[in-house]
Structure 1
Amino acid sequence: MKLITLMTFATAMAVSLNALAEGGGDRTFDRALGANASAMAQYAANQGKAAPVVKEYEYGMALDVVKVVSVVRPQTACEVVPAAMTYEDSSGQLNTIRYSVAGECRQRGG
C-alpha cells in the first residue's frame, strides 16, 4: 500500500514539474496579468482615465511613479519569474510595466 501511495505521489510530482517546464508558470502569470488588465480597465473607467497598456521594462528605463495602483505578484519559484506593476505617473496617466524578478523561493528547512 505504501508503494502505491509513493508511486502515485511521484507521478503527480512529475506531471506538475512537466507542466511548469512547458510554460505552466507562464500561463499562470498570463492569466493573472489578464485579470489585472481587466481590473485596471475598470479602475481607469471609474477614474475617467485611459486604460493602461502593458510595456516591457528595459534596463535603465526612467519610471515616473507617483502612486502604485496594482501589483501582479511573482510566482513561488526558485528562479527568475515575471511580475507586473500598474502605477500612476505625475501627469495622472496609468501605466503597466512588466518586469522580471527573483521568484519567491520557499525551500523546506532541514
Structure 2
Amino acid sequence: MKLFKLSLAALVLSVSSLAMAEGGGDRTFARAMQENERAMAAYAARQGKEAPVVENYSYDMPLDIKKVVNVTPPIKSCDVVPSRMTYEDSAGKLNTIEYSVLGVCRTNGG
C-alpha cells in the first residue's frame, strides 16, 4: 500500500511540474512577443514608418521580402511553437508575419 501511495504521489508531482512547465513556456512566449512588438514599433518610429501589424502566415500568402528586419528565436520546447518575422517589402512597408516552427528541443537520448 505504501508503494502505491508513493507511486501516486510521484505521478501527481510529475504531472503538476509538466503543467507548470507548459505555463512557463506560454508566459515566456507571450513576453517575447510583447518585447518584439515594442522593438519593432521603436524600429518603425526610427525609420519614420508605420509600425507593422502582425498577420498569421498561410502558404498561399504572397510575400514580397526585400529586407528581413527581425526574426524571433523559437522558444525551448519539443513542440511546434509560434515565431515571428518582421520584414520590409519592396515598397518600404514593414510587415510582420507569425508562423509555426519546431521549438528548440534537447533530448538526452544517449
Tell me whether the two structures share a fold, i.e. TM-score over 0.5.
yes
TM-score (norm 2): 0.80
Structure-to-structure mapping, 1:45-60, within 5 angstroms: 45-60=45-60
Aligned length, in residue pairs: 101
Following superposition, the deviation at residue 80 of structure 1 comes to 0.7
Identical-pair percentage: 59
CA distance in 1, matches of 2:54, 2:72: 12
Following superposition, the deviation at residue 19 of structure 1 comes to 2.0
Structure index of larger Rg? 2
Following superposition, the deviation at residue 58 of structure 1 comes to 1.3
Which residue does the alignment assign to 2:85? 85
Which residue does the alignment assign to 1:18? 19
CA distance in 2, matches of 1:30, 1:102: 17
The runs of 5 or more residues in structure 2 that have no matched partner are 1-8
TM-score (norm 1): 0.80
Structure-to-structure mapping, 1:71-110, within 5 angstroms: 71-110=71-110
The runs of 5 or more residues in structure 1 that have no matched partner are 1-6
**What is the alpha-carbon root mean square deviation over aligned residues?**
2.2
Is the partner of 1:31 in helix, strand or coil? helix
Following superposition, the deviation at residue 15 of structure 1 comes to 4.3
Is the partner of 1:81 in helix, strand or coil? strand
CA distance in 2, matches of 1:45, 1:56: 23
Following superposition, the deviation at residue 88 of structure 1 comes to 0.6
CA distance in 1, matches of 2:41, 2:89: 16
Is the partner of 1:68 in helix, strand or coil? strand
Following superposition, the deviation at residue 109 of structure 1 comes to 4.0
Which residue does the alignment assign to 2:31? 31
